[in-house]
Structure 1
């Protein structure tokens, strides 16, 4: 029951009444049992149920119930019935930070991102809003959440949600005590499923995957806090090495060291003051001293991979994976990223360019079976990461590469992937799918928390 969302409207008639389609009411009659409570988010109140016979496939809620439940607006929702309680929703909150006092752009530069996320509510069937720590009224069990509708942003007071989707902007905000308190209280005191609970630690993920027989072949050789000898060994074997901060993101702080067999010099490629740089050194010792004055603490040295190229620039691939309405992983987005001239990464801010995979494969003559290999690798990695992590992981962004012999490599996995690739006009379908699926997964968690709470809350 309740797999297909139906429209919900306010009804001016009888008090404390939920009107449902005749077909649903007949099922209750056949089972000789009728719901006597109705719930939205953490709010549950008594009600009676009745059929409406106007042949419309929708739910009607009497005005007093509507106000008591704090239903935010008309729209399609799911209905689940369990142990004589009707659950409407889900009511899903996106937890984030960085709010302003401007209702036109309540979350600054990220307002458009969240407006696009919230716009999937009608496609999936849910109530969807964003909130921060200071919007919670713990005493009354309510949140003054931000909703996005056709006429723009508005704040509406709603009960605590059924599910929380974590979109905190950075590690610093995640570590704040206020952020931790919200997560712990809503999870532990109110038993609210919370997904994407934290940023990934690059080294922790690497260690889990490289020690897993199923995924070890996808990981390059890495060293945390490497010694100069380990760097020399990587250069001898692979000719180039990447250095990246273990807790970094957005490609910031990545450097590439190159040593070609027939060249006595060492080269370092990096980004400084918005420019791509290349420096030459007479010795590795001098390079490391100049480029890494603070040593390699919290740095990862990673073997260089000779990637397939487009117009002589290396290519890697961004894949987004999401859990769907059945709690299963699927690939929601796939794009090629081409490094800019002289750039150490493929990030657009470093001069990189986004293309569709089909454009790249056609122009480079790459066989299409590699597309299947990329997707299979991303799904395999998603399942293995999910298996080893605590809590609910709902989405992952991968940076994968294909070397010149057709092998797949994983460079990074991010729990809160950026969305730069979706500026490409041919990735509109991927953009929509990757925005829809987090809410579809929230519906899954909502249903599981009602029908199989032991399984959900022991995760």
Structure 2
């Protein structure tokens, strides 16, 4: 268990730092650092207080430490005492409203920053426009005493990517920020990018430990390939490679008794539709007339477990913890709305705990199966995807035989499942670990930079 230290500011201008004796024992330390700022100081043991580090007002100003009662970690490397970590959460969509600085996502970020004290980190939110490259500082948004305030701080030890969508992710200005902070300043950047469904599938296909969880998935090529899959599986799902929130998902069903084709989807008005067609060509001419099929994938239909005749799938969150290890942080069932092709809440879906869906023994059995699958999939993705991943949200299904299937992996998972009152503690856990992972990355970047930046 890593120890946290309170940072106290003494009202003098001496370049002296008082530390717990155990922290100094047998060590030679010449500098103190916070984020990208450091300075030469003298170190002395503090005889009375073993849980705090005392710096002077002059040191505070020089290293731009924002005074607060947040306890921090201490890292020793190359005769430098690093206090932190200072974690920058990078996003876009800032507004000019002081009480809603990040628009409708302000509450999410406020909740995310509320874990600072328990994790032992200084986290703040910033965008491209808040960086002062000449000074090496950032005008960061901190959430303190239930209010937002901006404070100028050094460049952070680590950056957590919370860009809101693919459009912002592909913005050249934002790409430049990421590249510059990573390459010029050697700042670890975690959770970059949104996953492409086909790319994820093809990468996982190379790992024999997880292939049993993968439904057959192909890029859309021709009607004949869909006909083959329909004859094999009875139904298929067609969805965008880069879709999210269930947008653009279509289920196509073939009735071999009547030779009719059915398409279940949600139209532009948000209404769930089920339409019948005499041929696959007519179905596509009607339903996909305005859609670009080369952006679609076709996935094997799975006969899911049903609750009251409604299909159910599962959202499983995994996070890396302060030791860099994958943990299961939340599991919830999602029951499809009446006539819906997806289990999303906007389509009438309901969120339930696993215990609400299954009796005790079954709930335990299915939770274990889902957990095993999610951990194996997390490790497999970790090995194959470029960049540093700290969290994943999996959409998993269980078929009538009790087998687990992967439908999607999300690098920036939505948080709708946490509206369920019994999942509040897991909401907190996922937020804590998403910042706690920055503690691990900070330590790794200081102790083993050659591994981090190879």
**2:173 & 2:38 partners in 1: Cα distance?**
28
**Aligned partner (choices 402, 414, 417) of residue 418 of structure 1:** 414
Q: Is the Cα–Cα contact under 8 Å of residues 38 and 46 in structure 1 kept in the other structure? A: yes
2:434 alignment partner in structure 1: 438
1:133 alignment partner in structure 2: 128
Aligned length: 451
Task: Note the C-alpha offset of 1:210.
Answer: 1.9
**2:7 & 2:207 partners in 1: Cα distance?**
48
Task: Work out whether 1:346 is the aligned partner of 2:318.
Answer: no
**2:341 & 2:213 partners in 1: Cα distance?**
21
2:381 alignment partner in structure 1: 385
Aligned partner of residue 198 in structure 2, secondary structure = helix
Task: Work out whether 1:397 is the aligned partner of 2:396.
Answer: no
Task: Work out whether 1:166 is the aligned partner of 2:161.
Answer: yes
The structure-2 alpha-carbon separation of the partners of 1:152 and 1:68, relative to structure 1 and needing over 3 Å to count, comes to same
Aligned partner of residue 110 in structure 1, secondary structure = helix
1:44 alignment partner in structure 2: 38
CA deviations 1:20-43 (Å, max 9, x no partner) are 123323x1xxx2x43110111111
Q: What is the 5 A alignment of 1:50-199? A: 50-55=44-49, 57-74=51-68, 75-199=70-194
**1:265 & 1:328 partners in 2: Cα distance?**
50
**1:417 & 1:281 partners in 2: Cα distance?**
35
Q: Is the Cα–Cα contact under 8 Å of residues 13 and 59 in structure 2 kept in the other structure? A: no
**1:366 & 1:55 partners in 2: Cα distance?**
52
Task: Work out whether 1:355 is the aligned partner of 2:352.
Answer: yes
The structure-2 alpha-carbon separation of the partners of 1:34 and 1:384, relative to structure 1 and needing over 3 Å to count, comes to same
TM-score (norm 2): 0.97
TM-score (norm 1): 0.96
Q: Is the Cα–Cα contact under 8 Å of residues 307 and 314 in structure 1 kept in the other structure? A: yes
Task: Work out whether 1:20 is the aligned partner of 2:31.
Answer: no
Task: Note the C-alpha offset of 1:367.
Answer: 5.5
Q: Is the Cα–Cα contact under 8 Å of residues 418 and 424 in structure 2 kept in the other structure? A: yes
Task: Note the C-alpha offset of 1:370.
Answer: 2.1
**Aligned partner (choices 331, 335, 341) of residue 334 of structure 1:** 331
Q: Is the Cα–Cα contact under 8 Å of residues 242 and 256 in structure 1 kept in the other structure? A: yes
* Higher mean displacement: 345-354 or 295-304: 295-304
**1:452 & 1:211 partners in 2: Cα distance?**
29
**2:95 & 2:221 partners in 1: Cα distance?**
42
Task: Note the C-alpha offset of 1:368.
Answer: 2.5
* Higher mean displacement: 2-11 or 169-178: 2-11
CA deviations 1:230-284 (Å, max 9, x no partner) are 1111111111111000111111110111112323321111111111111111222
Task: Work out whether 1:314 is the aligned partner of 2:311.
Answer: yes
CA deviations 1:319-345 (Å, max 9, x no partner) are 111111111111111100010000110
* Higher mean displacement: 124-133 or 256-265: 256-265
Q: Is the Cα–Cα contact under 8 Å of residues 21 and 50 in structure 2 kept in the other structure? A: no
Q: Is the Cα–Cα contact under 8 Å of residues 34 and 49 in structure 1 kept in the other structure? A: no
Q: Is the Cα–Cα contact under 8 Å of residues 215 and 300 in structure 2 kept in the other structure? A: yes
Q: Is the Cα–Cα contact under 8 Å of residues 19 and 50 in structure 2 kept in the other structure? A: no
Q: Is the Cα–Cα contact under 8 Å of residues 13 and 58 in structure 2 kept in the other structure? A: no
Task: Work out whether 1:283 is the aligned partner of 2:282.
Answer: no
Task: Note the C-alpha offset of 1:373.
Answer: 1.1
Q: Is the Cα–Cα contact under 8 Å of residues 240 and 249 in structure 2 kept in the other structure? A: yes
- Displaced runs of 4 or more, over 4 A: none
Task: Note the C-alpha offset of 1:14.
Answer: 5.7
Q: Is the Cα–Cα contact under 8 Å of residues 313 and 333 in structure 2 kept in the other structure? A: yes
Q: What is the 5 A alignment of 1:212-291? A: 212-272=207-267, 273-291=269-287
Task: Work out whether 1:8 is the aligned partner of 2:7.
Answer: yes
| Aligned-pair Cα RMSD in Å | 1.4
Task: Note the C-alpha offset of 1:229.
Answer: 0.8
The structure-2 alpha-carbon separation of the partners of 1:234 and 1:366, relative to structure 1 and needing over 3 Å to count, comes to farther
> What are the ranges of 5 or more consecutive residues in structure 1 without an aligned counterpart?
none
> What are the ranges of 5 or more consecutive residues in structure 2 without an aligned counterpart?
none
